[in-house]
Amino acid sequence: MKLETPKPKILIVDDRIENLIALEKVLQIFDVEFVRALSGNEALTKTLDKDFALGIVDVQMPEMDGYETVTYLREDESTRYLPIIFVSAIFKDDDYVIKGIETGAVDFIAKPIIPVILQGKVQVFLDLYNQRKSLEIMNDELIAAKEKAEAASNAKSLFLANMSHEIRTPMNGIIGMTDILTTTKLDSEQSEYLDLIRLSGANLLTIINDILDFSKIESGLIDLEEIDFSLFEEVKNVKNLLALKVDEKRLYLRSKIDPNIPKILSGDPTRLKQILINLVNNAVKFTSHGGVTIRIEICEDNSDHICLKFRISDTGIGIPKDKLELLFKAFSQADSSISRRYGGTGLGLAISKNLVELMNGQIGVSSSEGEGSEFWFTAWFCYDKEASKRAGLKHIHELEMIHKKLRILIAEDNVVNQRVARFNLKQLGHDVDIANNGEEAILHFSKGKYDMILMDVQMPNIDGIQATKEIRKIEASRKNGTLSHTCIIAMTANALKGDREKYIAEGMDDYLAKPFRPEDIKKVIQRNIRIDVN
């Protein structure tokens, strides 16, 4: 509710009551509150607990005259800038006017008072006071609105974190156990059913991710990573992920990448891949014959920064020209029947647009109904000419890592997720122990040595962060630090901006978001376990 401007108060100071009454009568045309003072001391007392718009002070008063009264007012922080009009018959002498100015008065009225002149002067100062008060109220309202918006944003962030955790945790179990089931003996009918479960799970996860991602982008909760990656590998991964759908529709999916693009770029490969999957998946969805082509070329090269243009063209149904402007708006599709015929949340392109803008790029589309479409976007990346050499060495390390058996502790209170993680690690040839909570994780660590701990963040009693702190204390207390640093990975269903940095600040080494796939675990091991290569 908007606050009203308070009624202004005018301090009138004179040692004669009849003069105070006369002033009030002259100024009764104003909607103000008069506060009387019969002496300088009383005037100073009145200003201690009241906010005044103006002071009208008689100069000639016994004990403390007007000049002395105003001098004291100017020394106090609360009344230093209070406008003062002096009233006196002595202002016919210029020396008294000069003294009044030096004291700090802003105006003078000579007796006998001419009402219209006093009213005009008072009107000016009341207008200034009301403007100041209006600005103060407006500022207070802005501060209150800002605090309210921040509280709402914090509540939304907390809700997103909880929703992310509550949804992704069971999804990790569903997808993980489905992957495990594919490694068992199944007849053809069971395999078909399992493929349907996997496809449905993947579709559900896409919808969940779209909704959570859009909400996170809206709330400013997404930060881009800055890590080295191979563009050629990421495009290959996109094609592999969509190969089944492409084969089912008997389409082609081709890629043409400018060979002059550096082999290793620095940026966020996960978000880049998300944009490509959104655009390629849409192209496949709306194409029934022919296929889809991914083209990537250099737009600009500044020796250590490079801008790439990605073009995804298809031979599909195309888009009417009057519908093109709707495509990148949230929850919009070119036709209301599309969601019924083809599915989808209508968020994929809106999310892609936001991610492209985070990469300092632009996104657009050209299409004609019945003639296919071409979606394009640009994005900036860093690159290092020496990175390709390092990438080759890193590849050697990763190959050797595949064959090194590690001892890994899984700290996880969800039994299904325990089984998923343990199965994936066993498949990679590692030894695995299980801790059902943070307390057990600390106990396991105190009795043995582990190469890595996959630490669930949200566990009852002692959570993953507390357990990590205790483990780091145990590490520090061991003799001369002879035991090497144990890699602790935050394994969590939370996936919000700043989470990775927060967990690292608490003593963890990296971050593995649920739901995860076997390749995600392999990558986090390769990133964090160091081995000597002679």
Per-residue three-class SS string for 72-96: HHHHCHHHCCCCEEEEEHHHHCHHH
| pLDDT tens digits for range 306-353 | 999 999 999 998 888 877 777 877 555 545 445 444 455 567 788 889
Q: Write down the pLDDT at residue 531.
A: 45
Q: Per-domain residue ranges for the chain?
A: 9-113, 160-217, 224-385, 391-528
Q: Write down the pLDDT at residue 340.
A: 44
Sign (positive/negative) of CA torsion 229, 232, 233, 235?
A: positive
Model confidence at 365, in pLDDT bands (50, 70, 90)? very high
Model confidence at 467, in pLDDT bands (50, 70, 90)? very high
Question: What span, in angstroms and rounded, lies between the C-alpha atoms of 224 and 60?
Answer: 73
Chain-centroid distance, C-alpha 131: 37
Higher pLDDT, 34 or 156: 34
Q: Write down the pLDDT at residue 460.
A: 85
CATH topology of domain 391-528: Rossmann fold (3.40.50)
Phi-psi map region of 461: left, alpha, beta (phi>0 left; psi -120 to 50 alpha): left
Structure tokens given for 18: 């009849």
Model confidence at 432, in pLDDT bands (50, 70, 90)? very high
Mean pLDDT calculated for residue range 7-36:
91
Nearest Cα neighbor of 323 from 376, 373, 378, 377 is: 373
Question: What span, in angstroms and rounded, lies between the C-alpha atoms of 392 and 390?
Answer: 5
Q: Is the pTM of this model over 0.95?
A: no
Model confidence at 400, in pLDDT bands (50, 70, 90)? very low
Q: Write down the pLDDT at residue 399.
A: 44
Model confidence at 506, in pLDDT bands (50, 70, 90)? confident
pLDDT greater than 70 at residue 26: yes
Model confidence at 35, in pLDDT bands (50, 70, 90)? very high
Q: Write down the pLDDT at residue 514.
A: 79
Question: What span, in angstroms and rounded, lies between the C-alpha atoms of 271 and 209?
Answer: 12
For residues 487 and 509, the answer to whether their CB atoms sit within 8 Å is yes
Q: Write down the pLDDT at residue 488.
A: 93
Mean pLDDT calculated for residue range 211-216:
68
For residues 305 and 380, the answer to whether their CB atoms sit within 8 Å is yes
Higher pLDDT, 137 or 310: 310
The rounded mean pLDDT for the chain is 82
Mean pLDDT calculated for residue range 477-485:
65
> Kindly report the CA angle at 361 between 360 and 363, in degrees rounded to 5?
150
CA 52 vs CA 29, 43, 80: distances in Å = 18, 11, 12
Q: What percent of the chain has pLDDT over 70?
A: 83
pLDDT greater than 90 at residue 3: no
pLDDT greater than 90 at residue 187: no
Q: What percent of the chain has pLDDT over 90?
A: 28
Same fold, 9-113 and 391-528: yes
Whether residue 460 has a cis bond before it, omega within 30° of 0? no
Model confidence at 141, in pLDDT bands (50, 70, 90)? confident
Model confidence at 385, in pLDDT bands (50, 70, 90)? low
CB atoms within 10 A of CB 321: 11
CATH architecture entry for 9-113: 3-Layer(aba) Sandwich (3.40)
CATH topology of domain 224-385: Heat Shock Protein 90 (3.30.565)
pLDDT greater than 60 at residue 27: yes
Nearest Cα neighbor of 255 from 293, 217, 301, 286 is: 293
